[in-house]
Structure 1
Amino acid sequence: MPTPQQTRRPDALTMEVVELIGEVVSRYYEDYEAAAEDHALTGAQARLLSLLSLEPLPMRKLAQKLKCEPSNVTGIVDRLESRGLVERRPDPHDRRVKLAAATEEGLRVAKGLREGLRFAREPLAGLSDAERLALRDLLRRMLGA
């Protein structure tokens, strides 16, 4: 049975925060698509390359992180591999599994993607260190990290 808090309608402040989060997400994706386009990538290719810049991952894990089918990931990896941005390599822990990994050029492009995200750079720079830490901590708390 739902608790009263679960069935209660959100208050005006909560709704305003939800709308603001939605606007931030929308602007982030617009900026991300533009940064991807600057590197002749689709948004999906850019997101996959960004994930691989952190660590090599098996296709199934990439599909989970991107919330798509493994067959879609295979096509994206194929296209990035043909451009020299990604390579497939055996998993050192399980030779039956192939890992997708960013190449040196892929790491360079992923760094350029991150640096190309402009929408929040100036507003965040306008916050004090304490405000940015508070924002980071609140976002982590919301995400359960």
Structure 2
Amino acid sequence: MKNSAELRSLSGGLAEIHDTLGAVCPHPPPDFPPPTSVPAVPDEVADHLNALAKQLEMALELSRSLEAQHTTTQPTISVPESKVAPLESLAQDTQTRVRSRVEVADSTTRPSVREARKKECEPLTSMFAEWKKID
């Protein structure tokens, strides 16, 4: 019953707003007649409205709580982020230096490695040539 009274109070407020708007704009839209009376609201509907209102309040409370947590954790997150950027730069510089040293080392050792392999293969090549001559 209390909810019915609240709804009547709200609709009374709506009627007052409508009257105020009527004073400002004397021509209401033709398909929107001014409210004459508030229909009775069944208890079932009122209970459902109350449950929805409670859910809405809980959702708003959760939203505020999450917003507060976000505000609190933001500095905690930004400190490590500020340390990661210089470390990433240092790692990239180190990788670049290592790659250039490897390239220099490869360019100086490759000819000697090729020569060593060639010398290893010479006896095998000559053995293969001799074997072909025997057949």
How high is the TM-score relative to the length of structure 1?
A: 0.18
How high is the TM-score relative to the length of structure 2?
A: 0.19
